[in-house]
Structure 1
Amino acid sequence: MSQHRTAAEASRERILAVATDLFAEHGYDGTTTRTIAGAAGLNVATVAYHVGTKADLYREVMRRAHEAERAAVDAALAEFARTAPDDPARAAAEFADRYLDFCLEQPHVPALWMRRWMADAAEFADLEERYAQPLLETVRRELVAALPQLTSDRAELAVWTVLWTTHGFCRSVIRAQVPRFRTHLRALVQRELGLDGGVR
């Protein structure tokens, strides 16, 4: 790999990292290409050269956020499928734990989606169809398969409840309350899924 290509890739990654932070904090509509360029220590032309338009940059940021979330959810679902036959209440609580941990470790992901829920970047409506809806459907389908008493509607509402609650908490940045929120989330997901048994 040439030194020029390495430098170009480093610049692109720097731009993407800065843009991710700015889109998460201020939204797509509240962030300009000039702001991104300034925060990355580059000029606007250099940003355009490496990533294209602001819209191109936003799409790449959302794609990467989705890929990270998808990987975390897939791993959590695999563990859920292994545990649920013997102890569905524990499996559900641990699934919630893993999703909370992901959101705490990568707070830009819930921040980006919460910005969208507040009507940010309305011109990118296809992102929900491409990313959010298929992921939600995957989780819903796995929950119903593992918990025969669970209806499809109830499973979907449970998934949304975990998303809304976890994303809202992670945006609050009340880190001292993480243990208390975790206990609440575990109980909440068990209740929403109609599972008996205490939080473990």
Structure 2
Amino acid sequence: MVWHMIIVSTDGSCLRNPGGAIGWAWVNHEGPSRAGGDRSGTNQIAELRALLEALKAHPGPEPMIIESDSQYAIKCASEWLPGWKRKGWKTATGAPVKNLDLVQAIDRVLAERSGPVRFRWVRGHVGNHFNELADKLAGEAARAQAAAPIASATEPAGPEPTAAPARPEPTAAPARAAKKAVRRTVKVVEEVEEVEEVELTLF
């Protein structure tokens, strides 16, 4: 069976490299496209993310060509990746691979995809329609991220804790009642003693 070749152009944008808002985009040469972004990043992150999202959006058995004007992204996904993987994700000098999470994600998607993938570098900003469109979409996505309001990091305050009800202060009334009861008891005892004395005098 002869499969139809898929060709996708990708591009990334960073408004202030490094640390500014980033945008990424891919454009299928037959029409579909997609773009997105993040609050901060680098040019390299944006280019790798564009490539990764293009791969994830085309998981089928069809042969695929990804075009990018980023030599870094192209070499990461094709030339450098196998050697990094053999060395335990270290470069030739033994340094850790930069943007490792994205590089490993690209490696996984390539391994899972049944159809072959080739990467092709194209010169940017020379009138290539699909490259220019991907560049435009990535730039718009980055600007949208930069303009988006930043969500507040503070949680809404909950209700103020209520104080435990205060215990009523003891009043003087019970104490006065107790004193009266004692006096009545003493009086009764005295009266009983007087009665006994009277009875004794009668005998």
TM-score by length of 1: 0.27
More strand by share: 2
Query: Normalising by the residue count of structure 2, what TM-score does the alignment of the two structures yield?
Result: 0.27
